[in-house]
Structure 1
Amino acid sequence: MMVAILAIASLSLAIWLGLLFANGGFWLAAERDTAGTAAEPANWPDVVAVVPARDEADVIARSIGSLVAQDYPGRFRIILVDDGSSDGTGAIARRTCADEGLAIMTGAPLPAGWTGKLWAVDQGVAAADQPRYLWLTDADIAHAPDTLRMLVTRAEAGQLSLVSLMAKLRCETLAERMLVPAFVFFFQMLYPFARVNRPGGIGAAAGGCMLVRSESLRAAGGIAAIRSALIDDCALGAALKRQGPIWLGLTDRSVSIRPYEGFGPVAAMIARSAYAQLRYSPLLLAGTVAGLALVYAAPPLLALFAHGPARWLGLAAWALMAISFQPMLHFYRRSSLWGFALPAIAAFYAGCTLQSAWAHARGRGGFWKGRAQAMDGR
């Protein structure tokens, strides 16, 4: 028994050492839109923003208003695709931004094989008439006035197929303070930004803010190529990386304005796509839960209840875990003490993953905005 406990402690510590020193420096939160500067282009290309919106009455005015307020020297238009809203989203946007380069489309009925968001995006892209760049952004994201200018400058300087920003999520309520920094931390663990930005590395993106080169999107097969993807941003990032280099980073410029007032809404947001991340595989689900227990639960349990070397190894792993979380906590201006709560936070995410699998088994996978959208995983 003691040998098994010591083996678990050693393996847990080894995993954390590997994560910190051999996983693209994900935890450093160093890939920022403020890092690296480039000369602005001599000629500013045309850009069309495409915004899919479904029942976004509470946030649409601020979101669209931030697009209208962009300080962009080139030609810039906005297309809002109203995806069957029942709360007057389109009317609010029209009143807010009348005669400001905003076109509002009423989305067509959702065809089989598509998720609602991607069907709305596809319609907006078709109506954009092939500008140099498409700015794909969500209806609950507000952007600083210089955001588009920075995106285009970076894209033109690097001849990038995609520039994506991980919008800064709201972090005010207790649920948000506990869970939101960890959401970005876990995302970076799966998709280390430095590897995304490296030639030949993995492909990923953050859906709240993506500047896409139209030529690259067409070469990748358009939005139709990922039409059933629940994790559509990473699917698009992977598709576009096959067409050319991409860049993904953290930002303070683009911020989420959707509030999560309690733990339930955050859990629903996580559960919507968690099982899709595991390719709807029961074996991967079991492996993930076991892995989370080894990586996150074992260190504090060993530190509190084991004896001898196993306790010290558990303490070391727990300390590395807390240290790795500090840069993200600093980015979100949260207390460093949340680092020691990461095991409890990971347990919440594990529960959401199990909830996601249960919803899928009941035919309610990917449920969002009144739609169950999960496909068969292919």
Structure 2
Amino acid sequence: MIAVAAVSLAAWLWLLVGRGMFWRTDVRLPRATAEPTAWPSVAVVVPARDEADVLPVSLPSLLAQEYPGEATVFLVDDGSSDGTGDLARTLHATHGGLPLTVTSPGEPPAGWTGKLWAVRHGIAAAREQAGPEFLLLTDADIAHRPDSLRSLVTASYAADLDMVSQMARLRVTTGWERLIVPAFVYFFAQLYPFRWVNRAGSRTAAAAGGCVLLRSSTAAAAHVPEAIRQSVIDDVALSRAVKGAGGRIWLGLAEKVDSVRPYPGLGELWRMVSRSAYAQLRHNPLLLAGTVLGLALIYLVPPVAVIGGAAAGAWPVAALGLAAWAVMAGTYLPMLRYYGQPLWLAPVLPYTASLYLLMTVDSAVEHYRGRGAAWKGRTYARPDDTLA
């Protein structure tokens, strides 16, 4: 137990200093001292499937963008059964603002996810109508502050970036959201350290699909979205395609972009995580086993060492576990502050991690039962199965 606890502490010390400072929350949209002299045209593409509940909050925020250049919103109704398209037209008639086009691509063909088929249709409609210089790909549950688009374009110009993505601030209201949501962003940053993503020449690539500003010419050069048409985790696939085509990308935490989708109970949060967790592991049982062991070693060993060591009088074990637990909790504090949550949640992170471990295992189980990657009535096979 001393050896196991020591390895866990060593892992946390490495994570603290050797993982791109993933735990810090200061990677925000690059500040610019000057704005573009000529504002580029932007097409805002919003794929939407059964989003009538959140659209009254999110869509008016897009229509109300205070952008000096030409901007048009293309909402792509992806086979909704709740009147999403008609509601979007009604909201535009009521609120006015930027021009809105509502269109529908029909059911996706084999080899496409529904969202990416909708994005393809939206981009095609935008190019046919306006030929925009930039594309803002944003989800239907994302609300933007009035100057969000202006800030994104300014940052792209100032830093000469081909893609700028912000991790929207997710809703944190209920007890389960407080427990699960900040940890979700924390784990994502641990997997894809933002500083590594943003470093020129780095192989690490990631994005947050809720808010992506992308140069239209870069999208064409990277063959997006056709090149990633089967991807369930489409934002990471998009970033890899853009980086692979030589594009410069940036990812950080948002200040003016918020998700309004509620996840009031554990069931909703569980499905949100488990539907794509096994896809993240490339449907590989060995990666799954390694992930489970890694999560146990890093997150579960410290509290077990503290409690078990103290109960058995093995104080060196307890001390090592306590040190690892303290480092873990300390790295979680900045994310809790970013979300305005009580700091006592930091030492509870091992419990949250155990839930994520179970969600990951459940994702694999559902995959082998033929119900993996299910979202709003659609289930996607792994890419190899589709191609076959």
The TM-score with structure 2 as length reference comes to 0.94
SS at 2:44 equivalent: strand
Q: Show the counterpart of 1:151.
A: 152
Q: Show the counterpart of 2:41.
A: 46
CA contact (8 A) 2:23 2:332 kept: yes
Q: Deviations over 1:13-32 (max 9, x none)?
A: 00000101000001011101
- The answer to whether structure 1 residue 136 and structure 2 residue 132 are counterparts is no
Q: Show the counterpart of 1:191.
A: 192
Q: Show the counterpart of 2:347.
A: 340
Question: By how many angstroms is 1:376 displaced?
Answer: 4.1
Q: Show the counterpart of 1:375.
A: 382
Q: Show the counterpart of 1:114.
A: 112
Please give the alpha-carbon distance, in whole angstroms, between the structure 1 residues aligned to 2:264 and 2:337.
Answer: 22
Please give the alpha-carbon distance, in whole angstroms, between the structure 2 residues aligned to 1:96 and 1:235.
Answer: 32
The code of the aligned residue for 1:40 comes to E
Please give the alpha-carbon distance, in whole angstroms, between the structure 2 residues aligned to 1:231 and 1:376.
Answer: 12
Q: Show the counterpart of 2:79.
A: 84
Q: Show the counterpart of 1:269.
A: 272
Mapping for residues 143-222 of structure 1, pairs under 5 Å: 143-201=144-202, 202-222=204-224
Q: Show the counterpart of 1:290.
A: 293
Q: Show the counterpart of 2:21.
A: 25
The code of the aligned residue for 1:268 comes to R
CA contact (8 A) 2:224 2:241 kept: no
Please give the alpha-carbon distance, in whole angstroms, between the structure 1 residues aligned to 2:45 and 2:113.
Answer: 16
Q: Show the counterpart of 1:6.
A: 2
Question: By how many angstroms is 1:37 displaced?
Answer: 2.6
Moved more, 156-165 or 315-324: 156-165
CA contact (8 A) 1:82 1:90 kept: yes
Please give the alpha-carbon distance, in whole angstroms, between the structure 2 residues aligned to 1:89 and 1:217.
Answer: 27
The TM-score with structure 1 as length reference comes to 0.97
Please give the alpha-carbon distance, in whole angstroms, between the structure 2 residues aligned to 1:38 and 1:111.
Answer: 46
Please give the alpha-carbon distance, in whole angstroms, between the structure 1 residues aligned to 2:107 and 2:295.
Answer: 40
The code of the aligned residue for 1:137 comes to T
CA contact (8 A) 1:230 1:374 kept: no
Question: By how many angstroms is 1:374 displaced?
Answer: 3.5
Please give the alpha-carbon distance, in whole angstroms, between the structure 1 residues aligned to 2:223 and 2:327.
Answer: 43
Following TM superposition, the consecutive aligned residue runs of length 4 or more in structure 1 with deviations greater than 6 angstroms are none
CA contact (8 A) 2:194 2:251 kept: yes
CA contact (8 A) 1:53 1:82 kept: yes
Q: Show the counterpart of 1:312.
A: 319
Question: By how many angstroms is 1:108 displaced?
Answer: 1.9
Question: By how many angstroms is 1:308 displaced?
Answer: 2.4
Please give the alpha-carbon distance, in whole angstroms, between the structure 2 residues aligned to 1:262 and 1:251.
Answer: 24
SS at 1:84 equivalent: coil
Please give the alpha-carbon distance, in whole angstroms, between the structure 1 residues aligned to 2:365 and 2:304.
Answer: 28
Please give the alpha-carbon distance, in whole angstroms, between the structure 2 residues aligned to 1:124 and 1:82.
Answer: 10
The code of the aligned residue for 2:265 comes to G
| Structure 2 unpaired stretches of 5+ | none
Moved more, 300-309 or 144-153: 300-309
Q: Show the counterpart of 1:94.
A: 89
Please give the alpha-carbon distance, in whole angstroms, between the structure 2 residues aligned to 1:104 and 1:36.
Answer: 34
SS at 1:28 equivalent: coil
SS at 2:379 equivalent: coil
Please give the alpha-carbon distance, in whole angstroms, between the structure 1 residues aligned to 2:159 and 2:251.
Answer: 13
Please give the alpha-carbon distance, in whole angstroms, between the structure 2 residues aligned to 1:24 and 1:59.
Answer: 35
Please give the alpha-carbon distance, in whole angstroms, between the structure 2 residues aligned to 1:364 and 1:69.
Answer: 39
Q: Deviations over 1:234-254 (max 9, x none)?
A: 110111123221111111211
SS at 1:167 equivalent: strand
Moved more, 91-100 or 132-141: 91-100
- The answer to whether structure 1 residue 326 and structure 2 residue 336 are counterparts is no
SS at 2:137 equivalent: strand
Please give the alpha-carbon distance, in whole angstroms, between the structure 2 residues aligned to 1:308 and 1:377.
Answer: 51
Question: By how many angstroms is 1:352 displaced?
Answer: 0.6
Please give the alpha-carbon distance, in whole angstroms, between the structure 2 residues aligned to 1:322 and 1:288.
Answer: 20
CA contact (8 A) 1:203 1:237 kept: yes
Please give the alpha-carbon distance, in whole angstroms, between the structure 2 residues aligned to 1:38 and 1:217.
Answer: 27
CA contact (8 A) 1:276 1:374 kept: no
The code of the aligned residue for 1:126 comes to A
Q: 1:377 to 1:322 in 2, by over 3 A?
A: farther
CA contact (8 A) 1:176 1:260 kept: yes
In structure 2, which of residues 334, 351, 356 is the aligned counterpart of residue 349 of structure 1? Answer: 356
Q: Show the counterpart of 1:233.
A: 235
Task: Kindly tell me the number of residue pairs found equivalent between the two proteins.
Answer: 373
Please give the alpha-carbon distance, in whole angstroms, between the structure 2 residues aligned to 1:262 and 1:51.
Answer: 26
Please give the alpha-carbon distance, in whole angstroms, between the structure 2 residues aligned to 1:26 and 1:152.
Answer: 25
SS at 2:212 equivalent: strand
